[in-house]
Amino acid sequence: MDSAELDPFQKKVSAALVQVTRTVAQLSSEDLGFHRTSSSEFTESLDEQSERILALTSAVLKAATAGTDVDAPSLDTEESLEDNWRGVVDVIDSLLEKADACLDEFTGVIKKLSPSQEEQAPVARKAPKFPTTYDYGPSKIPKPQLLFDHKPDNSDLGPFHPLLETKPHASVPLEKSLTQRQIGGVTAYPHPYETEIRNAQYPKSVYQTASPINFLSFEGTTATFVDTLDGVKKMLEELKQAKEIAIDLEHHDVHSYHGLVSLMQISTRNKDWVVDTLKPWREELQMLNEVFADPKILKVLHGSTMDIIWLQRDLGLYVVGMFDTFHAASALGYPKRSLKFLLKKFVDFEADKRYQMADWRVRPLPSGMFDYARSDTHYLLYIYDCMRNALIEASTPEESLIDYVQDRSKNEALQRYERPVYDAEKGQGAGGWYDLLSRNPGGALSKEQFAVFKAIHQWRDEVARAADEGWQCVFPKHMLFKLAQVMPLDMGTLLRTLSPMTPLTKDRAGDLLNTIKKAAAAGATGPEWRDIAPPPKTLPVAVDMEDVDFPIAERYETSQFWGDVLQLQEPSAPASYSAVASLEALRLSLPLPPMPTTVSQAREKLAVTANAQSSPAPKAAPAPAPVPEEPKYFTVKDLGGPRKRKVAPVDTRDEEASTPDILAGPSDESEMTAKQRKKLRKEKKKAKKTAQSASQFEAEPFDYNTADSVLKAAPTAAPSAQQRKKPFNPYVKALDAPSGARKQQRNDAGKSMTFRE
């Protein structure tokens, strides 16, 4: 298929995949469980389609693995897809690797083998794997650390002893440098090159502006893969002749507890080297200290924080006279400080980041990974030249940016490697549980869950140390929190919680289950996470509250809403403290007339008002003591009114007298026609309304002081039958239902019942 036919086919396939992806996302967002329970037909159809998709997927996987050494996983049920997901990922990775190899052949990066060579060639080795979450199973590459002359000992928790056997360019002898002393309250070995690093100064050429030396073309530069001791010695002789060298490392930390330096890249102005650091004689690379510790040779690195640690731990190498371009970018205020940004800015080179997370233990090294490794140092010396000139131009007589970079680079080079010691009780250390809980929401963990979290975290660390694997190969961090929250107490729940389960955990599932049970039982009386959690951050400076001028709220003497309508008056008699406080609170909220504070005051006020309305009368003699009366008997029938009240006749003579003679015609209605009588009645009603409205405006203002008490008001007459209106019921037509129980007959007036008073 040529390119003309490939493009339409690719667009058609992409469009179909996009549509399928959208449909699947739509279906997954629906409540399929609810629809399953609501329709048996839908359930059968869904199961049928699920089996069909699983069958198609299995067929595709078998077709993709035909003729290869990759086994296609068997997908019989939906659960098997989750259990065998790692196998599915392996198939996809193999397809991507084939596509990558075909593209390399198409572009000419790899020369296609002749037919005779293809027939005689053995089975091609698998291309490098890219670690993902599902690649944390058993290592598919034999562990190189098993062949080291000095195998890593993960159980050693003592101070790290430097690997140095000799100390080139020393101002302090090696024996004196390797004497233990107290450092930060802990007995440890000092940095062997501490004195040399502090006293080192950049060569004078670093402080002088010069035109950047152009780098050689990537294809035209000699690149050498060094995997023998003779090759290391030959490279060392050439490095001694250089004035500046660029250094970088590639590290692997998945299938090793402490990690492994897998490659070391070194470049000069005209040559690149890639050194294999996984050889059994890797500690013999200490001979490179003749260049690395030479202060006259400038070592250019980028982001050297971890590189310095790894060089000490694995190779026994130390760097004196380092220039870190990361700190140079910080001094110049660049928006980004990554090596990728510097390569794009100064060289216009895009690094191929496909191999950034590759497994650098693979041997022999593929050409793509080899080129990616050497690109990190091939252009670094040219970038150093450009940044050096920029630092000199941006410096001032008071502040030298070159010195700033030198100080920061010295601090990086003075780092010491210390073994991570696991503290199970307090959780401190590089891989402890304390830091993990502090950076993740662990406040919701109960006592039992917190105890389980600590126990399985320690269990995971012990398993990783014993197997020399990264802790993520036991189970990842999110599974750690999931186990602590679920606290499985049986094997079935444990397997479901950790699905998919890594081989390391599967082989030790019984031990893990016992650990969880013991921790959950012991955690019932243990502490909670909040008891030892870090305290919340406080203000750095204490504030004296007496020195703070708080705003004072001003109050209005009169209401902003009522105005001067209701003026306040002082109470005539002093009240108690509580009464005064209540009055003051009421006055501040809303101005109101003075009100009595007690019932007795209210009664006295009502008595004074009644006396003021009546004329003065002589004081009456005290009434004799009341004599108890005999009980009276009464009949309800006599006191009850009729069932229907009669409407009292309305006297309209006064109204008729007040109505003006506005009609000219017969005075007797019997002599009027029907039309005249109707018109007369309308005019009378109109005149009556006019008179009522006029009387309202002409009446005197109502005096509340002389009005009768509301407490002793006479009961108002009940409204007549005509005045009472049945409330509107909007649902009267909708109540189409059988009638309920019969209403209980009430006792109306007229029934005779006798009571004792």
CB proximity list for 721: less than 8 A, separation 6 or greater: 644, 645
Give strand ranges (E) for 232-344: 244-252, 260-267, 271-276, 298-301, 322-324
- Answer whether residue 130 shows pLDDT above 70: no
* SS3 per-residue string spanning 149-195: CCCCCCCCCCCCCCCCCCCCCCCCCHHHHCCCEEECCEEECCCCCHH
Q: What is the mean pLDDT of residues 647-652?
A: 49
Q: What is the mean pLDDT of residues 167-176?
A: 94
* Most confident region among 28-42, 582-596, 633-647, 703-717 by mean pLDDT: 28-42
The secondary structure element, H or E, covering residue 755 is strand 754-756
* SS3 per-residue string spanning 176-242: HHCCCEEECCEEECCCCCHHHHHHCCCCHHHHCCCCCCCCCCCCCCEEEEECCHHHHHHHHHHHCCC
What domains, with CATH codes, occur in the chain?
A: 31-127 (no CATH), 144-152+193-413 (3.30.420.10), 433-532 (1.10.150.80)
Give the predicted TM-score (pTM) of the model: 0.56
The pLDDT of residue 556 is 54
Q: Which amino acid is at 39?
A: S
How many helices and strands (H and E) does the chain possess?
28, 10
Q: What is the mean pLDDT of residues 60-74?
A: 77
More confident residue, 329 or 426: 329
Is residue 299 within 8 A of residue 292, CB to CB? The reply is yes
Q: What is the mean pLDDT of residues 494-511?
A: 91
The pLDDT of residue 415 is 96
Is residue 655 within 8 A of residue 688, CB to CB? The reply is yes
| Span of 17-21, 86-90, 281-285, 714-718 with lowest mean pLDDT | 714-718
Is residue 514 within 8 A of residue 483, CB to CB? The reply is no
Q: What is the pLDDT of residues 386-413, one digit of tens each?
A: 999 999 999 999 999 999 999 999 999 9
Helix (H, G, I), strand (E, B) or coil at 754: strand
Q: Alpha-carbon distance 322 to 292, whole Å? A: 9
Q: Alpha-carbon distance 339 to 247, whole Å? A: 13
